[in-house]
Amino acid sequence: MNQKSLSKVQRLKEVLLINLLGEIPTIAFGPRLRILFYRFIFSRIDKSVYIQNGVEFIGASKIELGSDVHIFKGVRIDAKGEDSRITLEKGVALEKDVTIGALDNTCVQIGEGTFIGPGVCIAGPGDITIGKRCLIAAHAGIFANNHNFADPTKYIADQGITRQGIVIGDDCWLGHNVTVLDGVTIGEGSVIGAGAVVNQDIPPYSIAVGVPAKVIKKRGMKELVLNQQNVKE
């Protein structure tokens, strides 16, 4: 059996199991049944994973779920692209209506203990890495691609895209409706104010706001100086 046929068989198993088990409510032991049988279609699914009813998976054989991952109603995770991979590490929580998409040759990795709020969209095809213990508030958008549009004689949809990727460091907090654009690195411990559009790198432990986002201060600098003085004394 060739690779294409194997892929079709895998997708058939995936559709059958998800349609059969995906809508069973919690009160009817839905989460337990899903973990018991989804292990046959996922790349990896560890113990204590909690998946509510009404969650859609596409390309489950390319999705890895660490222990204690929580996924709530309305979430859609799509890893159907060729050579794609989506990994949710231990303790990741996806609130209602989160969308994660990985197109061809795309890796999306969300680090341990990170919380993704309702209605967040995380989309390739550029690689996206979100660090540990991050807080991503409701309706944020993380988009690792840009459309080319230089030629006004052609439709924008026909001019291709660029894909540089996005990195969000550990312990970052992105406020409500923040947008992160392709090619950006947000340094560890940074806070991005609600509604900001991040189109350039943000240094570690920064507080940034606005459209486009600009750093307005550094976190904890005064406290850091005081602590160093106390050590010397």
Radius of gyration of the chain (CA): 20
CA distance 57 to 12: 13
User: In the structure encoding, which two tokens stand for residue 171, read together?
Assistant: 């312990």
* CB proximity list for 177: less than 8 A, separation 6 or greater: 137, 138, 139, 140, 194, 195
The Cα-based distances of 163 to 1, 62, 147, 172, 185 in angstroms read 34, 20, 9, 23, 14
CB hemisphere CA count around 16 (13 angstroms): 9
How far apart CA 198 and CA 178 sit, in angstroms, is: 8
Residue in this structure with the two tokens 């949710």, named with its chain if needed: 88
Phi-psi region of 176 (alpha: psi -120 to 50; beta: other; left: phi over 0): beta
Spatial distance between the Cα atoms of 33 and 118, rounded to a whole number of angstroms: 25
* Beta-strand relationship, 166-168 and 141-143: unpaired
**Residue 147 among the catalytic residues:** yes
Write out the two tokens for 129: 């890495």
Residues in CB range of 79: below 8 A, 6 or more apart: 58, 59, 60, 62, 63, 85, 86, 102, 108
- Which positions are annotated as active-site residues? 147
